[in-house]
Amino acid sequence: MKFWKDRRFLVTGGSGFLGSRILVKMRERGATRIVVPRQRDYDLVHFDNVVRAYADAEPDIVIHLAAQVGGIGANRANPGRFFYNNLMMGAQLMEVGRQRSIEKFVAIGTICAYPKLTPVPFKEEDLWNGYPEETNAPYGLAKKMMLVQSRSYREQYGFNSIFLLPVNLYGPGDNFDPATSHAIPAIITKCVDATRGGKDEIVLWGTGTPTREFIHVDDVAEGILLATEHYNSSDPVNLGSGMEISIRDLADSIARLTGFRGRIVWDASQPDGQPRRCLDVSKAESLFGFRAKIRFEEGLRQTIEWYSNSRM
């Protein structure tokens, strides 16, 4: 409790899906001095706004969650914007933090930073063994530059920053916008809406054969806060559940849990994305005691219930 009570925090993206859960858990730990810079007041793509956010918050620790991100469709439509905006936010926030000699910078990366054909399970040592999957490479590489920056700044300036790699998130409050949502909310939306609309068919992208790993947003929030308190190295660390499931099996599970009994059509003309994703999560447990706890089916039920109630 003393760690959280005695420090001032700047949490970018604190009003978002993951950020809102982190704020709850920070306050439960005793944190009271938390500043969340809203985009309308501080567009962190611009250097002057980054400087102003630091001046206003005077943080001891920065947790950088803010990102411009979406599913495969959003990444294909915005490769330049996703690369530039994420790169500039991360680089400038860490640089100004270094200039101000803050105690710690917590950088949140992305599973999209891994090479397209990374052996499963993904080990942190494999991060530089190839180019990321093409549809989300600009976003993944922009985020991975914070790892380069973290290591460089630690070596030259002794700056304390860490770099965490969460796998695909899901849970209540997720982004259900069809234009930008990821796999779980996108499939839930189609199944729930089809059931309510009396439709007997839904169409999903790709072949359904790729695999993914998912982790509940509350689990990831816990992992980030454990690392914030206990981990002090620039070596990257995976945050995941260690559970791998195919998109086809995921769709079947969501259909069953939502009560959708119609046909699932796979549109193979659309991209599958990375062939497989599953993390080696042993380092997070050994370095700062993190292990995911929420069972996948229970998390899916929570997410479906939240979406159904929000639609009502």
- Pairing, β 104-108 against β 161-166: parallel
Quote the tokens at residue 100.
């101000």
Strand, coil or helix: 251 = helix
The Cα 73–Cα 207 span in angstroms is 15
The Cα 147–Cα 244 span in angstroms is 25
Which residues lie closer than 8 Å to 212 by C-beta, 6 or more apart?
167, 168, 183, 244, 245, 246, 247, 250, 277
Strand, coil or helix: 197 = helix
CA dihedral 112, 116, 119, 123 (to 10 degrees): -30
For tokens 């007997």, the residue is 200
For residue 106, which of 59, 154, 156, 65 has the smallest C-alpha distance?
A: 65
Q: Identify the burial level of 113 via C-beta atoms within 10 angstroms of its C-beta, where 0-12 means exposed, 13-18 middle and 19 or more buried.
A: buried
| Relative orientation angle of helices 17-28 and 217-230, to the nearest 10 degrees | 50
Which spans in 158-281 are helix H?
183-197, 217-230, 247-258
139, 153, 170, 231: the active-site residue: 139
Q: Is 153 a catalytic residue?
A: no
Which spans in the chain are helix H?
2-5, 17-28, 47-57, 72-77, 79-99, 137-157, 183-197, 217-230, 247-258, 282-288, 296-311
The Cα 25–Cα 22 span in angstroms is 5
Catalytic residue positions, numbered: 139
